Amino acid sequence: MVKVAINGRHLTLIASMCILWMMMALLLGLSLRQNQGHLVYALDDAYIHMAMAKNFVRYGVWGLTKYEFTSSSSSPLWTLLLSLSFLISGVNETIPLILNIIFASFTILLVYMIARRYKIKRYYTFVILLSTIIFTPFPALVFAGMEHMLHTFMTISFVFLATQAILKSERDKNKLCLMLVLTPLLTMARYESLFLSSSRASYLLRGRGWCYLCRLVC
């Protein structure tokens, strides 16, 4: 007989995931009921991203129409991710919802792993996870059909890696390299991330210069 959640160690994660998925299922059911069985996103921006992704996959044109280029995407990385998904599974309006639920789940897993790393008690970990779901708020971001859950996941990852790279006692070349890879992707997810990445870079290089960064990477 399998022990319950491996002696309950991951019970907080399992409970948080179940709450998240139940909320998504409930909202999806209500949405379909209110819209005659059709999936409708809260913002029209979601349809702009899908139109661009469709035209990029079918016609090789980065634009709202297949006839000309238009720089209408606020998140090139999200549009590229939609394009890849459309290429694999075909153009489908449920793709943004599925991707958002996946990234919402990854975000909960990431926050849980960070909490375990710093040995936060299970009760407080559960409160943190539940607060993350409710106050971010995940339901609204998921059903917006846009890049916000992807950006949330990447932002938390970046801040955690940057903190590890900055702390002298926890400096790790692999974490720093991963942070450097993540930096342009984070900016592609949302342009305002440039402020976050530049501030972290300034702090990291303060008083040390580019030679310090090169030594860590090389």
Do residues 24 and 37 lie in contact, with contact meaning Cβ atoms separated by under 8 Å? no
Residue indicated by tokens 């153009």: 91
Q: For position 4, what pLDDT does the model report?
A: 41
Per residue in 14-24, is it b (16+ CB within 10 Å) or e — as a string? Answer: eebbebbeebb
Do residues 139 and 27 lie in contact, with contact meaning Cβ atoms separated by under 8 Å? yes
Separation between Cα atoms, residue 184 and residue 206, nearest integer Å: 20
Mean pLDDT of 90-109: 96
- pLDDT band of residue 213 (cuts 50, 70, 90) is low
**Which residues have a Cβ under 8 Å from the Cβ of 4 and sit 6 or more positions away?**
11
Residue 212 resides in a domain: yes
- pLDDT band of residue 12 (cuts 50, 70, 90) is very high
Residue 213 resides in a domain: yes
The least confident of 79-93, 127-141, 176-190 is 176-190
Q: For position 177, what pLDDT does the model report?
A: 78
Q: For position 175, what pLDDT does the model report?
A: 75
- Residue, of 95 and 4, whose pLDDT is higher: 95
The pLDDT mean for the chain works out to: 87
Q: Is the peptide bond before 137 cis (omega within 30 degrees of 0)?
A: yes
Dihedral sign, Cα of residue 166, residue 171, residue 175, residue 180: positive
- Residue, of 74 and 103, whose pLDDT is higher: 103
Q: Mapping DSSP to helix (H, G, I), strand (E, B) and coil, where does residue 81 land?
A: helix
Residue 122 resides in a domain: no
Per residue in 71-100, is it b (16+ CB within 10 Å) or e — as a string? Answer: eebbbbbbbbbbbebbeeeebeeebbbebb
Does residue 6 register a pLDDT over 80?
no
pTM of the model as a whole:
0.87
Does residue 5 register a pLDDT over 50?
no
Residue 196 resides in a domain: yes
Q: For position 8, what pLDDT does the model report?
A: 65
Structure tokens at 214: 């090169």
Mean pLDDT of 45-59: 95
Domain that holds residue 156: 147-218
- Tens-place pLDDT, residues 21-42: 999 999 999 999 999 999 999 8
Mean pLDDT of 175-179: 79
Residue 66 resides in a domain: no
Length of the chain: 218
H or E element that contains 109:
helix 95-117
Residue 15 resides in a domain: no
Residue 163 resides in a domain: yes
Residue 215 resides in a domain: yes
Number of domains the chain is built from: 1
Q: For position 165, what pLDDT does the model report?
A: 74
Mean pLDDT of 141-161: 94
Structure tokens at 40: 């409708």
